[in-house]
Amino acid sequence: MNNLSMDNLNEPKYKKLIDYIIEYIKNGDLKPNDKIFSELELMDRFNISRHTVRKAFDRLVNEGWLYKVQGKGTFVSYPSANLKRDGKLIAVVTTYLGDYIFPEIIEGIENVLTQKGYSIILGNTDNKIEKERVVLKNLLSNNLCGLITEPTKSVFSNPNNDIYQQFINRGIPIMFINGHYNDFKSSYIIEDDIHAGYIATKHLVLEGHERIGGIFKSDDMQGHRRYQGFVKCLREYNIEIPEKGVIWYSTEDRDDFFNDKDYINILLRRLNNCSAVVCYNDQIAVRILDILKNNGLRVPDDYSIVSFDNSNIAQTAEVKLTTVAHPKAVMGERAANALLEIIDDKSLLIQEKMEPKLVIRESTKKV
């Protein structure tokens, strides 16, 4: 590491350092995943400033020669990371593909990308960790420009972070939608689920309800954040949190929980003292409508219900649902545009929340 000359005054020092490191990599003296020289080492060796070193590192990261791992340092990327990606292929991975709000999200993504000359490859995880791993590993064999993905069981520490890191190492930027992993630094476009939970609950409070139950999903970020908004609203209006009336379920519980007779009896007992229920999404709300109807209870006369997402089933249900609208296609469009921004400048970190809106229909009433 002694062939770098800073004598040429016509070329910026950071540019000379960039050329030097690239040459070092091309010669094989630094290999993929090797840790690059420290800032201090380069500063002392070549009598340059920390600003010069960081500017060179940032440019090399942006061009795909290096990648950074928070708290560990800067490393050499795979050779493919600094090649121009002419295939213009972007992967889109969601928990589900063919129903509910997902076709509209994907349509929004596809509309933007196709206009820019990109193709997409689709995958889904069924919200299962091992399937997420298989899907991601298979995608690594493609010449991808980027990845738009919905996390799996996002409330937990993700055991597939090592696979996501391989995307980063190869210069493939990642954009999360609907949620993100707290232990993996990333760009994301999400709905403001805390505010969504707040406005759903506030609507019931303003309708005069003081005994408000809730059904939330335990294994994803949206469920926990909607619950946070639920609690925030009840605290603001000095309404007691009905712990017995707050029910949690997981992906694996869902079918049993809302179909099994014993589970249904437990659910009804726990909601017995409530006059209103905040449901995790429209799908759960429709199941609750059926359960209540089958047990001689009416919505909104006996229970008011508010849900989330404003999917097609919210409008076609027997009782049309009051629901907090998910941005769907708009989120897909913004995620696609944001990913394209990062493809052009890999130093960008884009983290945005989209504002939810309440849609009032027939499933709530004043008491």
- In this structure, what CATH number is given to the domain that contains residue 17? 1.10.10.10
- In this structure, what CATH number is given to the domain that contains residue 133? 3.40.50.2300
Q: Which two tokens mark 315? A: 């409008």
User: Is there a domain that residue 339 lies in?
Assistant: yes
User: Is there a domain that residue 3 lies in?
Assistant: no
Whether the upstream peptide bond of residue 300 has omega within 30° of 0, thus cis, is: yes
Do 107 and 228 share a domain, yes or no? no
Beta carbons within 8 Å of 19's beta carbon, 6+ residues apart: none
The C-alpha atoms of residue 292 and residue 200 are separated, in whole angstroms, by 20
The C-alpha atoms of residue 181 and residue 114 are separated, in whole angstroms, by 28
Do 94 and 163 share a domain, yes or no? yes
User: Is there a domain that residue 2 lies in?
Assistant: no
Q: Which two tokens mark 304? A: 């008011």
Q: How confident is the prediction along the chain (367 residues), in pLDDT tens digits per residue?
A: 445 555 555 678 888 888 888 888 888 888 887 888 888 888 888 889 999 888 888 888 766 678 776 667 888 876 555 544 456 899 999 999 878 999 999 999 999 999 999 988 889 999 999 999 999 998 998 889 999 999 999 999 999 999 999 999 888 999 999 999 999 999 999 999 999 999 999 999 999 999 999 999 999 999 999 999 999 999 999 999 999 999 999 999 888 889 999 999 999 999 999 999 999 999 999 999 999 999 999 999 999 999 999 999 999 999 999 999 999 999 999 999 999 999 999 889 999 999 999 999 999 999 9
Do 127 and 175 share a domain, yes or no? yes
pLDDT score of 178: 97
Of 53, 82, 111, which residue constitutes the final position of a domain? 82
pTM: 0.79
Do 197 and 320 share a domain, yes or no? yes
User: Is there a domain that residue 23 lies in?
Assistant: yes
Number of domains in the chain: 3
Q: Which backbone phi and psi does 64 adopt, to 5 degrees?
A: 90, 5
pLDDT score of 66: 80
User: Is there a domain that residue 263 lies in?
Assistant: yes
The widest CA-to-CA distance across the chain, in whole angstroms, is: 87
The C-alpha atoms of residue 19 and residue 138 are separated, in whole angstroms, by 34
Q: Let me know the angle formed at the C-alpha of 87 by 169 and 332, rounded to the nearest 5 degrees.
A: 75
pLDDT score of 271: 97
Do 199 and 319 share a domain, yes or no? yes
Q: Which structural domain range is residue 350 located in? A: 89-191+328-355
- 47 close to 2: Cβ distance less than 8 angstroms: no
Looking at the DSSP bridge assignments, the partners of residue 107 are none
User: Is there a domain that residue 308 lies in?
Assistant: yes
